[in-house]
Amino acid sequence: MKRLLIWAPLALFALVFALVAGGLIKPADRAIHSAMVGKPVPALAMKPLLATKPGIDSAALKGKPRLLNVFASWCIPCIAEAPQLLKLKQAGVEIDAIAIRDTPEAVQAFLQRNGDPYARIGDDPTGKAQIALGSSGVPETFLIDAQGRIVDQHIGDIRADDIPAILAKLEAAK
């Protein structure tokens, strides 16, 4: 019996090591997915953040497939995704945006530095529209079909290798 007790600490260490290694190899999905996917866009009526662009209204999000990007000028991944959004715009994708807890001056500077892919930018100073969409952070992008229904959610920044799949989903959403 004493011989078995001598090996108990080693067995306990091996068990803890296996659990930690398993978590590192295949981590849990900690992304918070929106419950709004598959449902109509919630009622949104946001004033324009910039004088040069209209705001966001739910009625304007119908007619043709589009992307609705939730972003902020202070968001580092939003800067990383800007070139991909410009590529999507060049491919003919209409992209609208919701600026979260931001100022017109900061957003204008952001767009001048990183390019402007947006047709509309709505002001969400308190995050109410973000919560209504089921978004938990920035950047997040929602794919909206021609009927104004959310058909997909992209959590995090859009990368170059995401563009073909997004274009295919937009084509399917017509």
List Cβ neighbours of 166 (8 Å cut-off, separation of 6 or more).
67, 88, 93, 143, 154, 158
pLDDT of residue 12: 81
Q: Which amino acid is at 157?
A: D
Work out the percent of the chain whose per-residue pLDDT is above 90. 73
- Domain annotation for the chain: domains and CATH numbers: 45-172 (3.40.30.10)
Mean predicted confidence (pLDDT) in 44-56: 95
Among all chains, which residue has been given the structure tokens 């919701």?
A: 98
Q: Which residues pair with 120 in a beta bridge?
A: 96
pLDDT of residue 9: 79
Tell how strand 118-124 and strand 95-100 pair up. Answer: parallel
pLDDT band at residue 16, thresholds of 50, 70 and 90?
Answer: confident
Question: 2-11, pLDDT tens digit by residue?
Answer: 777 777 777 7
Q: Is the pTM of this model over 0.75?
A: yes
pLDDT of residue 29: 63
Q: Which string of b and e fits 81-92 if b means at least 16 CB within 10 Å? A: bbebbebbbeee
Rounded-to-integer distance, Cα 113 and Cα 57, Å? 27
Q: CA-CA distances (angstroms) from residue 45 to 25, 59, 84, 121, 165?
A: 44, 9, 27, 11, 30
Mean predicted confidence (pLDDT) in 90-109: 97
